[in-house]
Chains A and B, each alone.
Chain A
Amino acid sequence: MQAATLKSLEVQMRLNASRDALGPDLESLEELQWSRSIRGGRRSNRSRRHHHRRWLLRRRAKIQRCRIRKIRQSRSIESHLASALSMNKHTVTSVRCDDSRRITINLPERLNFLEDYEDTCSHFAILRNAVEKGWRIKRLDFSKISSISTSAALVLASTVDQWKERVRGRLKADLPSWQADITRLLCQMGYFELLGLRKPAHEWPRGDTTFLPFMRGKVGGEDSGAMAKQLRVNIENMVGGSIRKHFLFEGLSEAITNVSQHAYTDVVDDKRKYWWLSASFNSVTRELCVTFYDKGVGIPKTLPAHKLFEKIKLVFDAWSDSKKIEAAMEIGRTSSGMEERGKGLQNLIEFAKAHEIGKVRVSSLRGCFEEAYETGQSGEQEMGRSRTDFRHSVGGTLIEWSVILKC
């Protein structure tokens, strides 16, 4: 009797252990077996309910596993995205990635290289890295932009232009959400053609600032000079008068020559050897801005150290980019090492110098050098220089001329 009780207890314990291992469904399983045994394999309502319950449990577990996998995947995509695109505090909330690994980039409210240099450069760096690494860009969100400078618009256009050239995709842009003034400026600069958007049929209300369509030139291209001339003709049509054409051509031709001789020396692919050019005019302040941009190695990387202290500075990385740009503007300094070369960057100053108020700003990699001229009441021209170094790179070399035209 005692042995029989002990055996039944053992059986009960094993059953409980199995139940614990399999969960609550074991009871139902037993019931199912029991019902099958009783009814000769015919399924009862109870068994159907049991099957349904099992199916629901399996489905729930599968969904849970999928969720966990997606979270793990998205975490790895996000961390991969952040490192691949060099995201920072300025851009941490600006990039989204969907399941198919296509990214959406939200552009910031203000794009310019004066007050918002770091923010602007950080966003452009993401776009540039996405192009370099072949990421698929789903959408560029222009809706938050409330102001954009000529130079920022040109750098952005150049990056989108390269993305189209190399990745060969189509970018989405929600045109209705763009602010009216920004839409007009970007339309003038040629963004509609670039993004494949249909231009609105209506005429834009005239604003104070007018942009000229950006131009893309190829290094060593046959039409480089003709493009510089075309820009001058377009500027004269825009401002309604003639400008000092030879000074403008002098600066542009040297900028183009500098790009072909120094900027892309380490680039083999011809599809990457381009420069971009544009201009804008403010009819109220009569300020004319001409902007030239290339995505080359940058002036600081092509500048040789002439003197011993410069060589020591280079070794200890104590020579800032802005100081290197300033040194490059000196006559006779060139990466070729030939004395006759290195006169070119001085030509960049002439267009600014030829006006009563004018300045030239050269930004290359993380440095910026500015030379400004103003003619005082005595008729003497005063010159001011300034240098600035930043945390983020402009991604090449950007030359900006800004002059006030006489009425």
Chain B
Amino acid sequence: MKTISIGKDYSDTPLGRYEGDGPFNGTRFREEFLRPALESGEAVHVKIDDTEGYGSSFLDEAFGGLVRFGYFSASELQSKLVIELEDQDYNLYKNLIWRYIDSAQPAPK
């Protein structure tokens, strides 16, 4: 099992979708942290409640992008990815992450 704490391992102020939006954007988190961890085959636990918060751009690009770019299917992610939180205020972001994963459509190749 691998654990990624977004606040501690990446940034407590994750922001934006693409490289141009800032250094702690969703694309970079997906490509440098999330995707390598998931590709190792182990279950990945992502701790989300140690940050200032999230905009939907970051969450959609980081998590929904895994499906959109064809790296994983939504069902694969349901078995491999665990979203962890202690602060219940962040539950809405957990719901959003799954909503973005479920609604993402793989881009045609």
A interface residues, Cβ below 8 angstroms from B: 219-222, 224-226, 228-229, 232, 244-250, 253-254, 256-257, 260-261, 339-341, 343-344, 346-347
Which B residues lie within 8 Å of A220 (CB)?
Answer: 20-22
Which A residues lie within 8 Å of B16 (CB)?
Answer: 224, 253, 256-257, 260
Q: Are A254 and B14 in contact (CB under 8 A)?
A: no
Q: Are A245 and B21 in contact (CB under 8 A)?
A: no
> Is the C-beta of B3 less than 8 angstroms from some C-beta in chain A?
no
Q: Are B22 and A224 in contact (CB under 8 A)?
A: yes
Question: B13-52: which have CB < 8 Å to A?
Answer: 13-18, 20-24, 51-52
| B 37-74 binary contact with A (CB < 8 Å = 1; else 0) | 00000000000000111111110110010001000000
Cα of A261 to Cα of B27 in the assembled complex, Å: 14
Which B residues lie within 8 Å of A254 (CB)?
Answer: 55-57
Q: Are B56 and A249 in contact (CB under 8 A)?
A: no
Q: Are B55 and A246 in contact (CB under 8 A)?
A: no
Q: Are A247 and B53 in contact (CB under 8 A)?
A: yes
Q: Are A250 and B22 in contact (CB under 8 A)?
A: no
Indicate which residue in A219, A339, A344 contacts B55 across the interface (CB closer than 8 Å): A344
Q: A226-B13, A246-B90 are in contact. Are A260 and B21 (CB under 8 A)?
A: yes
Which A residues lie within 8 Å of B13 (CB)?
Answer: 224-226, 228-229, 249, 253
Determine the residue in chain B with the shortest Cβ distance to A246: B53
Cα of A209 to Cα of B93 in the assembled complex, Å: 34
Which B residues lie within 8 Å of A344 (CB)?
Answer: 55-57
> Is the C-beta of B86 less than 8 angstroms from some C-beta in chain A?
no
Which B residues lie within 8 Å of A229 (CB)?
Answer: 12-13, 52
Determine the residue in chain A with the shortest Cβ distance to B59: A343
Cα of A275 to Cα of B16 in the assembled complex, Å: 15
Q: Are A261 and B56 in contact (CB under 8 A)?
A: no
The main secondary structure of chain B at its interface with chain A is: loop
Q: Are A225 and B24 in contact (CB under 8 A)?
A: yes
Q: Are A253 and B60 in contact (CB under 8 A)?
A: no
Q: Are A341 and B52 in contact (CB under 8 A)?
A: no
Q: Are A245 and B60 in contact (CB under 8 A)?
A: no
Q: Are A224 and B54 in contact (CB under 8 A)?
A: no
Which A residues lie within 8 Å of B58 (CB)?
Answer: 253, 257
Q: Are A340 and B104 in contact (CB under 8 A)?
A: yes
Cα of A260 to Cα of B20 in the assembled complex, Å: 7
Cα of A94 to Cα of B23 in the assembled complex, Å: 44
The main secondary structure of chain A at its interface with chain B is: helix
Q: Are B21 and A343 in contact (CB under 8 A)?
A: no
Q: Which 3 A-B pairs have CB atoms at the shortest separation, nearest pair first?
A: A225-B13, A246-B53, A249-B53
Q: A225-B22, A260-B22, A341-B17 are in contact. Are A250 and B11 (CB under 8 A)?
A: no
Determine the residue in chain A with the shortest Cβ distance to B57: A257
Cα of A246 to Cα of B53 in the assembled complex, Å: 4
Cα of A341 to Cα of B68 in the assembled complex, Å: 12
Cα of A340 to Cα of B20 in the assembled complex, Å: 17
Cα of A254 to Cα of B54 in the assembled complex, Å: 9
Cα of A225 to Cα of B6 in the assembled complex, Å: 14
Q: A253-B53, A343-B57 are in contact. Are A225 and B20 (CB under 8 A)?
A: no
Which B residues lie within 8 Å of A256 (CB)?
Answer: 15-16, 21-22
Which B residues lie within 8 Å of A245 (CB)?
Answer: 52-53
> In the assembled complex, how far is the CB of residue A229 from the closest CB belonging to chain B, in whole angstroms?
5
Cα of A256 to Cα of B21 in the assembled complex, Å: 8
> In the assembled complex, how far is the CB of residue B35 from the closest CB belonging to chain A, in whole angstroms?
17
Cα of A157 to Cα of B7 in the assembled complex, Å: 33
Which B residues lie within 8 Å of A219 (CB)?
Answer: 20
> In the assembled complex, how far is the CB of residue A97 from the closest CB belonging to chain B, in whole angstroms?
41
Cα of A246 to Cα of B51 in the assembled complex, Å: 8
Determine the residue in chain A with the shortest Cβ distance to B24: A225
Q: Are B53 and A257 in contact (CB under 8 A)?
A: no
Cα of A250 to Cα of B93 in the assembled complex, Å: 10
Cα of A222 to Cα of B15 in the assembled complex, Å: 10
Q: A225-B11, A256-B16 are in contact. Are A343 and B52 (CB under 8 A)?
A: no
Q: Are B22 and A340 in contact (CB under 8 A)?
A: no
| Most B CB within 10 A of own CB, among A226, A244, A257, A260 | A257
Q: Are A257 and B17 in contact (CB under 8 A)?
A: yes
Determine the residue in chain A with the shortest Cβ distance to B100: A340
Q: Are B22 and A261 in contact (CB under 8 A)?
A: no
Q: A220-B20, A256-B15, A256-B21 are in contact. Are A246 and B60 (CB under 8 A)?
A: no
Q: Are A250 and B55 in contact (CB under 8 A)?
A: yes
Which A residues lie within 8 Å of B12 (CB)?
Answer: 229
Q: Are B53 and A343 in contact (CB under 8 A)?
A: no
Cα of A246 to Cα of B90 in the assembled complex, Å: 8
Determine the residue in chain B with the shortest Cβ distance to A344: B57
| B 86-108 binary contact with A (CB < 8 Å = 1; else 0) | 00011001000000100011000
